[in-house]
Structure 1
Amino acid sequence: MTPLAVILTVLGYIAVLFVVAWLSGRRADNAGFFTGGRRTPWYLAAFAMIGAAMSGVTFISVPGSVAADAFSYMQMVAGFTVGQLVVAFLLVPTFYRLRVVSLYEYLDARFGVAAHRTGAWFFFLSKMLGAALKLYVVCAVMQLLVFDAYGVPLWANAALTMGLVWLYTQRGGVKALIWTDTLQSLCLVGSLALSVLFIMRGMGWSAADVVREVGASPYARVLFLDDPSSGRYFWKMFLAGIVLLVAMTGLDQDMMQRNLSCPTPRDAQKNIVLTALCQIFVILLFLVLGVLLYAYVERRGMALPARSDEVFPLVAVEGGLPVFVGVLFVVGLVSSTYSSAGASLTALTTSFTVDLLDGVKRYDERRLTCVRRRVHGALAAGLVGLILAFGYWADDSVINLVFRMASYTYGPILGMFLFGLATPWRVRDRWMPLVAVAAPLLSAAVQWFARERWGYQIGFELLIYNAAFTIAGMFLLLKRHEK
């Protein structure tokens, strides 16, 4: 697949995306930007959430990860499913009852301004880093496929990508995202399914052959119950999946903006349950694709790339398959990227404007629109800078790096919400920033000590330790004789 073919594919997709974004967001006001006006049908939100949950990192990293981790990711997916139920039946009724625009307004009502700002700042840090890391992966692939051939540097690549994301989200916000995410979900799932089909045909396999070969592959092992010290141990990944889902979806402004755009809590709950079921099958298909990719590389005698994240691009673009496979890869990659990046930028804008600037209370509608657009543009520029920083630093499988960062940055948010929902007590709010900073530092110290002293590897369940330290710190801040 030539660089010109990649460019034409990307431009074609972006043209369709901009038309959908313009049609759906042309009459959006601030309420439409922040919450979609709470008029989104639940089934539309559920389909949109597939694209929202599956970023470009998922599209590239999950298939490539099977060589090192087999199907162990499904253990975490089982935890994700339980976590979705927690979000649907515990958090959603609370957020609808309070009619929040930003999730972190709950912390203000429950504890005070300092807790509210602390939760918002930790979300801001988490989402900026996570969004930039996911965008970096896609920019790196596009650099390899297109921009290097024309001598275009990474900074121009990143600026162009974020400029397009800024353009299609700057007016419509959540109202536009629901419809653009629906388009992106359709492209993502279609690209995934057709890629599997073409690779099957490239090896001369039938559906029965795929089931047999995948089942017999050492990469298809799902359960890891033999070594509790391993990062892939079932109970560690299952429990980590529950808390990661609750933290990264239920307490994430980005993901919950779509759920809270439904008219009623009942609609939001139906949307979340359907999303959970779809997520199981889509991720399983990604892992099956990973087995097929490695089998194809072996059969063709191709050299494996240095990084697992490059296996899918290698096979799709240079593997001798029909050009249409490369087109599917690019469409799937671009669709998942713009879905994730657009949603992240919208959520960051919402949280910064509502939580950190207190914009809804301070400004009238006209002034709020002006402030929101300035914040939106400034955050887009900030993401470009972070993408370039990751270009010099990221060297791990990115799906692992995303979850590892989330274990540190979402822990204080999870701890604060758990304490607020499970206890009637109030705390001395002004000390909450200190607790929130101390918890990740203590978690990192425990992780290092367990590895050095006992050889015990704390994996994604680090988030549990982090939240526990936050809760313990809040108990130290209890207001005596007051509930």
Structure 2
Amino acid sequence: MAPATILTLIILYFGLLFLISYFVSRKNSDNDTFFKANKNSKWYLVAFGMIGTALSGVTFISVPGKVGAEAVQFSYFQFVIGNAIGFLLIAKVLLPLYYRMNLTSIYGYIEQRLGTISYKTSATIFLISRTIGSAFRLYLVVIVLQRYVFDAFHMPFALTVLVSLALIFAYTYRGGLKTIIITDTLQTFFLVSSVFLTIYFICQSLDLDAIQAFEAVKNSQYSKIFFYEDAMAPTFFIKQVLGGMFVTIAMVGLDQDLMQKNLSCRNIGEAQKNMFTFTGTFVLINIFFLSVGALLYLYAGKNGIAIPEYLGKPKTDFLFPEIALNHLGAIPAIVFLLGLTAATFATTDSALTALTTSFCVDFLGMDKAENNTGPKTVRTRHAVHIGFSLLMFLVIIVFNALNDESVVTMIFRVAGYTYGPLLGLYCFGLFVRKLGVHDRFVPIVCVMSPMLTWFISENSATWLNGYIFDTELIIVNGLITFLGLLIISRKADAQTRF
């Protein structure tokens, strides 16, 4: 597909998002609308929109790309099983807590349970973790757009990133969460439609009907799901399930981004219906993403298509866009482009809103009545929104200079270090109710824990007879944080035992 055609589609797509943003936020764009969508979101819209936020461009491109590795295949589905368990635990344990405390920022729980410094520390961990994670996700799509669109116009990579973030800011800065609930519903529709249509177009190109396609995927070398043989391997079943469960609890249940949407529902019942519906859909969609990966490699093998290179090395993240944009025809290319754009911007717009909310509430106190009125607070919120957009820009530029791995691998590796202290803080708060902490020492524990985790990870093969940590590294990090909090613990005040 010609770069000019792709660029035209992107412009039309964002034009639609701007139109939605205008109608959603034209009557009200105050802080309550931005932070909580006036606490009036429909649970089914939240559930559907969360699919796009949770999956992102990483799932769209990187997961199908990794299927081709002999030691990987469909092993990612083991991780998805862990994700599903984590989602159910969030719905039954964390959501009732957040609703009972009527929180705008979920880190308000840490403030009331452990203290102000612990609260600021947990909010800071989220800001760092979400900024890095969302930057990685946006990076993946920007390099695809750069390769297949903007290189043709001699547009620098940095400018492509800046324009992308500017467009996201432009349609979210007024309505915030209220706008995103609607735009993410639309974007998820494009994402899900793209998955099914891509499978259809590839099957059509391979002369396969639905049953034949199922058999081809099942009988291919890519379809192995469960790996029990080698406990030392990153794909070992127990490691993947445990890693998926705890990564989900930390990256979803303890993350302001996805929880902010849940907290915009009218009550806990609707929020839980949202999570249960979302969980089932999430598992199903990931099955189809893995199937897309197998079909892509079957198509590439039949047509002699090599994995595209990036910076002189084969990069599996580029296989899907290469086939969709250059080999399947115009309609499949349009479908792919809409799905990729929807997956990525649904994640990034939500993240920027959550980052802005967390900073404004957790550090500027905008959830308090005396700080939540007047045009000055709205201007401050806009400035914070711009600030996080620029910070994400800088992270992407640095990551582009350093990265040579699959983005999905890098995201979960980094999450093991950045989200681990949040896991430890909440576990201590929830399960050791008779103890509090000496608040001033909590930042030291939360800094030391990732450092010790990294040290253990780097030496685990030597110390543990060849054992290499993968996604379960977050459990180690959370456990070290938990033990550190026990060391600095004290008897809790009665009113802080939630």
Name the TM-score class by shorter chain. Answer: over 0.9
Match for residue 428 of structure 1? 438
Q: Aligned equivalents of 1:146 and 1:354: distance in 2?
A: 39
The residue aligned with 1:456 is 467
Of residues 462, 473, 481, the one that matches 2:484 is 473
What is the CA–CA distance in structure 1 between the aligned matches of 2:18 and 2:191, rounded to whole Å?
Answer: 17
Distance 2:3 2:162 in 1: 19
Q: Secondary structure at the match of 1:392?
A: helix
Aligned-partner SS, 1:219:
coil
Contact 2:31 2:372 in 1 (8 A): no
Q: CA deviation at 1:481?
A: 7.6
How much does 1:28 deviate? Answer: 3.0
1:313 counterpart = 2:321? yes
Equivalent residues in 2 for 1:2-401, closer than 5 Å: 2-26=2-26, 27-68=28-69, 69-305=72-308, 306-319=314-327, 321-361=328-368, 363-366=371-374, 367-401=376-410
Amino acid at match of 1:449: N
Residue 230 of structure 1: SS of its match in structure 2?
Answer: coil
Q: Give secondary structure in 1 for the equivalent of 2:484.
A: helix
How many angstroms does 1:364 deviate by?
A: 4.1
- Structural RMSD (CA): 1.1
Structure 1 CA distance, aligned partners of 2:38 and 2:231?
47
Aligned-partner Cα distance in 1 for 2:445–2:298: 49
Query: Residue by residue, what CA displacement relative to the aligned partner does 1:198-229 show, whole Å, maximum 9, x if unpaired?
Result: 01001111111111111111211000001111
Deviations 1:384-432 (A, max 9, x none): 1111111111111101110111111000001101111112111101100
Residue 446 (str. 1) matches residue 456 (str. 2): yes
Distance in 2 (CA, whole Å) between partners of 1:368 and 1:418 is: 34
Shift of 1:358: 2.6
2:311 is aligned to none
Mapped contact 1:72–1:224 kept (Cα < 8 A): yes
Other structure's SS at 1:55 match? helix
Residues 17-55 of structure 1 show CA distances to partners (whole Å, capped at 9, x for unaligned) of 111122222223211111111111111111111111111
- The CA deviation at 1:273 is 0.5
Whichever residue aligns with residue 239 of structure 1, its letter is: L
Question: Per-residue displacement from partner, 1:304-331 (whole Å, max 9, x unpaired)?
Answer: 2210100001100112x12111111111
- How far does residue 360 in structure 1 lie from its aligned partner after superposition? 3.1
Identity %: 37
CA distance in 1, matches of 2:471, 2:356: 28
In structure 2, distance between residues paired with 1:129 and 1:343: 14
Work out the CA distance in 2 between the residues paired with 1:169 and 1:134.
Answer: 18
SS at match of 1:101: coil
* Separation in structure 1 between the aligned mates of residue 37 and residue 378 of structure 2, nearest angstrom: 15
CA distance in 2, matches of 1:55, 1:136: 11
Tell me the SS of whatever aligns to 2:166: helix
**What are the equivalent positions in structure 2 for 1:402-413 lying under 5 Å apart?**
402-413=411-422
1:19 partner letter = L
C-alpha distance in 1, partners of 2:317/2:123? 32
CA positional deviation for 1:181: 0.4
What secondary structure sits across from 1:434 in the alignment? helix
For residue 21 of structure 2, give the secondary structure of its aligned residue in structure 1.
helix
Alignment-derived partner of residue 417 in structure 1: 426
Could you tell me how far apart the structure 2 residues matched to 1:52 and 1:259 are? 12
* Residue type of the alignment partner of 1:401: M
> Which blocks of at least 5 consecutive residues in structure 2 are unaligned?
309-313
Structure 1: any 5+ residue segments left out of the alignment? none
Aligned residue pair count: 482
**Aligned partners of 1:398, 1:336: CA distance in 2, in Å?**
15
CA contact (8 A) 2:436 2:492 kept: no
**Alpha-carbon deviation of 1:357?**
2.5
181-190 or 65-74, which deviates more: 65-74
Report the more deviating stretch, 91-100 or 361-370: 361-370
Distance in structure 2 (CA, Å) of the matches to 1:78 and 1:481: 36
Aligned partners of 1:208 and 1:58: how far apart in 2? 25
Does the 8 Å contact 1:41/1:262 carry over to 2?
A: yes
Distance 2:406 2:359 in 1: 30
Checking the alignment, whether the CA contact within 8 Å between 2:33 and 2:177 is kept in structure 1 is yes
TM-score (norm 1): 0.98
Offset of residue 383 of structure 1: 1.3
Distance (Å, rounded) in 1 between the aligned partners of 2:402 and 2:363: 29
Q: Is the 8 A contact 2:252 2:259 kept in 1?
A: yes
Q: Deviation of residue 482 (structure 1)?
A: 5.5
What SS does the aligned partner of 1:479 have? strand
Deviation per CA, 1:435-456: give whole Å up to 9, x if none: 0011111111111221233211
SS at match of 2:402: coil
- TM-score, with length taken from structure 2: 0.95
